[in-house]
Each structure stands twice: as C-alpha cells, then as structure tokens.
Structure 1
C-alpha cells in the first residue's frame, strides 16, 4: 500500500525542505518530492498542513514512563511504555535496565522479546541498553547498591542470547585491563562509560579498544580539571566519542548544554530522556530499581536527595535545546535518531530518505508531536482532548 504525505516541512539530517511530499510504500520510504514536482498516485494522501516531518526519534536510554518501568518485567509494562513513547515522537527505543539480579533482568528482556513478537502497536524495541549492574558503590548514583556486581561477560552473553543487547553502561575502573571492553566489542555490543570515577588514561585505553559512548554525559563521572582531565575532559576531547545528554533542566545547566553543542557539535551528541516511571505522570511517590523516589516539580529524587533519573519527555528535551542553542532543526535532528542509529550500527532509521524505514514524527511549529508513524503505519495521532 502506498501513502503520500503532502504539504510536509521535511526536516532530516542536513535537509530542510518546506512544501515537500514523501511517498511511503509499505514499511519503507519510497521517494521524496520537491515543491512543484509532479506527484504520483497513491492509495492514501495525507495533508500534513505544513507541519514538520522528521525521522522518528530514537531514545537509547529510557527506563520507563506512564507509571511503568521496563524492569517491571511484564509485557503489559513494556507495551504501556512503548505506546506512551509514540506521543513523544519516539518510534524506537532501547529498553534500559537497572542494577538488579540477573533473573530480574532476564525477565525484562523476555518481556521485550514477547512484545516484539506479538505485533507491537507502540514504538519498536530493536535491542536493550544494559545500565548496570557493573558499577562501583562510589559511582552507583541512584542505582540499587544491593545488586552491584563485578563485570561478568558470561552473564552478558546469557542475556544477549535471550534478546539482543546493543549497549552496556559500566564503571570503567572495574575493568582496569580493558578485557571487558574487548569482550563486549567482540559481541557487537557498544561499551559505554557511566557511573564512573575513572581517570582519563583508562578512558583513553578503552576508547582505543572500541568504547565510543558516554552515558548521561557529565552526570556521575569525573569532572574536567586543568590538572586532572577526567572523563568529562575525555568526552570533550575525543571527536569520535558520542555523548548522551539529558536536557531536562535538572541534569545539565543551560550554559553546559550550550558549551557542549559548541564543542562536540550536533554530529556527536545524542539526546536521551533517562526517564523513569514518573515521566508523563503527576508528582508523587514512585520507585526505581527497588528504591523509593519522590517526584516534586517534575524532579525525581531518592530520599537521600540523589537525582533518580528524569521525568523528561523526548520532544521536550529537543525544545529546550533548540531554545538554548538557536541551531537549525536540520542540524539538531541528528541528535534525535541518526547519531544513535549510526553509532550502534542499526541500519535504516534516522533519516527521511528512499529506502529508510517509514518511522516518522510529525510535529507542529512548537515541536509538539501531532502524529507518529512506525513502519509506514500511523500508530498515534494527537486528539483534540490531548493537552
């Protein structure tokens, strides 16, 4: 079945074209048309009324939303998260785990597998992001200290065999010989620096062996110092390293966001939410990995005051970055899916181009999602009652 999207303002990496048209053929993008081009016949023609048409967003670090956590370990929880993601313009996400026992993690991966095997009706889960349990106690942050472990590649292999793991975040100092990095790269899993008090020299060695991601950059990692370069310094210096940013107004100050976009640029930044179950929900009492969390004014914290993930919705992060940087959308859009996909070797998403998956987000001029398409099917549309 062919669908023609007309009167679209197409925004894709290095592309900004108003009054354009896009032809979808089944699950793929078949062709793009400039203003004034003759348009082909189609089974359905949909007028986007000049709204932005962007590649669907890809959230590679999200624990949950809508009252559910990925580590609840049920298909119902995964489905509820995946459906809510559509309202954020997200068409793909990595189900992100917490520091928990292996049997709990396996249950969560099985739930993702079951969701993806049963005609998913929300965002797609191409793979998993294992965040933990391989963290130090000193760098655990809001991760549950009761379940911390030393790096265990056999455990990773077991989970990876159950459902694909695309990315694994861990404390670098637990792997001083970098053997864990080598093993992860050999499995096709992206090693990611997170929750780490390691120094720059170990980071440099890990990068040489294949570590190219830094999770929630600047948060729970050694800072930049003029005599001790630290992990933040390493992330700024290494041009081939991709950094995740949580742009929720809590995890990074406005000036830091502006600096990072000046130094790293749109080609190496990946917007994420790091959202927990309270995203899209009112303030109140919640939990994260078995730890009690209080959400007040949209900020999630443990009882100790430690920030515990975010309540960020993906499109709200993009709004904040646009307002702070003033950068054109055809550059900022790279941080929403393209960088994530290419850095993880996930083909076919992140661009509006012939042959790419028809995963699309339609947004109004204020960057509020109005429609979300997955595999050429409109899976979500803003209703008149949606705030």
Structure 2
C-alpha cells in the first residue's frame, strides 16, 4: 500500500529560521521533505499565508473542556486531551495535583491507560512533596515530607507513565525522593518552594546531571528580591548554565509579558518550556470547577481558588489557555522572536522528556506532528502522525 502524502505550503518555522515561502511534505507518519518552495521538485501546493509549526508539546496540563486529570473518571479524561490537541498540542503530559495517596495512585493508574494507548506522553505529578508556605492552589492538607514508599506506589501504578514530578528542595526526604526519580528516569522539577537561594542551589546539585525543570518559574515561590534572591535567581542561573529548563505560564495572568520577554532574552527558547498549566475550565465558560480536592472559580477566564471574602486575592488555580495561546502571546505581546517562541512550545519540552529525536521540530525523518495556523495563530489544521485531526478515529 502506498503511504499517504500531504504537501503543505506557507511560512514554515524550523528550529533555526522562518522559511517565508516554504513547503513541507508528510509521507505516512513522517516528515519527508522541508525547504523553500522553489527547491521542491514535486507538485507545489497553492500559495498560502498560513504559518506551519511543529506540533506543540505541553509538559504541565491538568485538564480542559470540563475534564480534570486529577478528578475525572477514565471515560472523561480523553475529553481534555482532545481539547488541547484541537489547539495544536499534539503531545502532552497529564498533570496531577497533591491529593491523598489513594487518590494519586488511582488517577495515575487511569492515566496510565491513556499513556499505553498513545494518547498522552506520560504523567506529571505536581506534589505532594511541596512547601505548605507556597502551596498556592495545592491542598495544604495533602502535603507531606518526601516519601519514597509512596513514590514507589505511584510509579508502580503508572506502569512507566510517570515522566516528571514537582517537589520542593527544602522538604524532609528530598534527597531520597530525588534519588528514586533519577533511578526511574523521571524528570525532577523544582517548584512550590519557599527555599532560599542556597537551599535551592543545594537541591539542584543534589539532583545531579540529567534534565531538571523549574515548575512555572516565579509562581509558587518567593519573589526575586535583590537581598533575598530565593529560588528564582538560582533557577535562572541554572538555565543559563544549561542545566535546567524553565516552565513559563506566559498567559498575561501568571506572568507579565515583560517578564516573559526578559527570561527569553536571558536564557533563550532552548531553555524555556511554555506550559499551559490548564485546568478543567480551559475552553469552557466562566463558572465553578474543581482542581483536586479544592473548589475553583473562573471569572473572565482567570481561575482562582473559590473564596467568599476578597476573591480577587485568592491564589491563581491553574490556567485556561493552551500552549498555542502562549506562543501567540509571546510573539504578539511580549515581542519574542517567532522561532524562539515556537522552540519553547515544541522542541525544548520534547527534548526535556527525552522525545526530542522524534517530535518537536519540522525536520525530515521526524514524526509528522504538524500545526497549521493563520496569521492570528488560530488553528487551521492539526496533523498527528501524518493524519489530519478530523480524520482521527
């Protein structure tokens, strides 16, 4: 049987440049050709103003379209995946939040089914080995010291699906948990921490070589102060040294556009992963939702923990955007170069979880995960493994 071939034409964003009139050819489930249209010897596709990007990769996502990875039953979990996929996120980790052990184990097991089916790239465990002082929208009653026994149960329930875990370097048992993460090829992530700079650096050193991320840098940690720099300075320095990737929720709510631009200027898109941190309300109207054991109120698309008194001061409880929204905002509002923004939404997160040789870039031989958007970064077509989204069964 002859493999299906799809030819696309537009502004092609590679890992190094924007080809203003480029062609990309998908043959079967792989990219077979990428380059300037005049060099393509086959039948050319019609000229187009579309922008062609690699499929986007989200390392931190709690749900969408009304479904929540920490809360929903297995029948609903794919709803969230499909929402983000329709917006160009062709690869994602499903994130859990701190919860009682039995809940974490149960939801990890459900998500392992999606992992084994190829619908998600794995599971991200955000907690429960976090700082109570910086718990944010995490349930403080579910937080605990580092517990290798519990981690072993979660890993077992995941059947190979657990790919990353957020933990605070100051919690008791940090070193033992860190060792177990490395032994199981799970990416450790520094976050929800009240640690000072010295403790953070010690934690990074304890994690040793291998990929490390910072969970939504600036959020869930002390403000960077010039006499008390805290974890922000150490994470920025580690990224500048090439030993850490920084998650940024660049949605204009979690971070100012100027902050996003500054971090790109400091470390570049090769050390940044744009993450949605989306919860169930992504793609939905304002209203009441759940994030783990906690109630969340979404107003004007901003999710905060439900609080009767002074609701605007309640902690932010995840995002309602997608990675494509963050790429658009980085380019249009923060002034980040297109190549750098796309890199932070695709190749950098793919590389961080060990998938960089297969996804995250428009190169011959790579998986045909491709996103076509218009000039306003609205999705036109999404291909996953060479198959258009509307053709998936």
- How far 1:313 sits from its partner (Å)? 2.4
CA deviation profile, 1:309-365 (whole Å, cap 9, x unmatched):
111222221121112332331222110011111122224111111121111111111
How far apart in 1 are the matches of 2:252 and 2:275? 13
- How far 1:73 sits from its partner (Å)? 4.5
Question: Given that residues 369 and 385 in structure 2 are in contact (C-alpha distance below 8 angstroms), is that contact kept between their aligned partners in structure 1?
Answer: yes
Residue 377 of structure 1 is matched in structure 2 by 387
How far apart in 2 are the matches of 1:70 and 1:179? 27
CA deviation profile, 1:62-103 (whole Å, cap 9, x unmatched):
101101101234332221011101222100110000111233
How far apart in 2 are the matches of 1:340 and 1:48? 31
How far apart in 1 are the matches of 2:164 and 2:91? 14
The answer to whether 1:165 aligns with 2:162 is yes
Residue 59 of structure 1 is matched in structure 2 by 58
Question: Given that residues 151 and 177 in structure 2 are in contact (C-alpha distance below 8 angstroms), is that contact kept between their aligned partners in structure 1?
Answer: no
| Gapped regions of structure 1 (runs ≥ 5) | 382-387
SS of residue matched to 1:172: coil
SS of residue matched to 2:281: coil
- How far 1:104 sits from its partner (Å)? 1.9
Residue 311 of structure 2 is matched in structure 1 by none
The answer to whether 1:264 aligns with 2:264 is no
Residue 25 of structure 1 is matched in structure 2 by 27
Question: Given that residues 87 and 324 in structure 2 are in contact (C-alpha distance below 8 angstroms), is that contact kept between their aligned partners in structure 1?
Answer: yes
The answer to whether 1:323 aligns with 2:336 is no
- How far 1:143 sits from its partner (Å)? 0.7
SS of residue matched to 2:375: coil
Residue 202 of structure 2 is matched in structure 1 by 205
Question: Given that residues 71 and 290 in structure 2 are in contact (C-alpha distance below 8 angstroms), is that contact kept between their aligned partners in structure 1?
Answer: no
Please, what TM-score do these two structures have when normalized by structure 1? 0.90
Question: Given that residues 6 and 19 in structure 1 are in contact (C-alpha distance below 8 angstroms), is that contact kept between their aligned partners in structure 2?
Answer: no
Question: Given that residues 3 and 46 in structure 1 are in contact (C-alpha distance below 8 angstroms), is that contact kept between their aligned partners in structure 2?
Answer: no
How far apart in 2 are the matches of 1:55 and 1:8? 13
2:145 aligned residue (146, 150, 155): 150
How far apart in 2 are the matches of 1:288 and 1:87? 22
SS of residue matched to 1:5: strand
- How far 1:171 sits from its partner (Å)? 1.5
Please, what TM-score do these two structures have when normalized by structure 2? 0.89
2:323 aligned residue (299, 314, 319): 314
Residue 179 of structure 1 is matched in structure 2 by 176
- How far 1:48 sits from its partner (Å)? 7.6
Question: Given that residues 223 and 233 in structure 1 are in contact (C-alpha distance below 8 angstroms), is that contact kept between their aligned partners in structure 2?
Answer: no
Question: Given that residues 261 and 325 in structure 1 are in contact (C-alpha distance below 8 angstroms), is that contact kept between their aligned partners in structure 2?
Answer: no
- How far 1:117 sits from its partner (Å)? 4.3
Residue 281 of structure 1 is matched in structure 2 by 284
How far apart in 2 are the matches of 1:373 and 1:46? 17
What is the number of equivalent residue pairs in this alignment? 374
Residue 220 of structure 2 is matched in structure 1 by 220
Q: Which runs of 4+ in 1 moved over 6 A?
A: none
Question: Given that residues 2 and 23 in structure 1 are in contact (C-alpha distance below 8 angstroms), is that contact kept between their aligned partners in structure 2?
Answer: no
| Gapped regions of structure 2 (runs ≥ 5) | 308-313
Residue 4 of structure 1 is matched in structure 2 by 6
Residue 304 of structure 2 is matched in structure 1 by 301
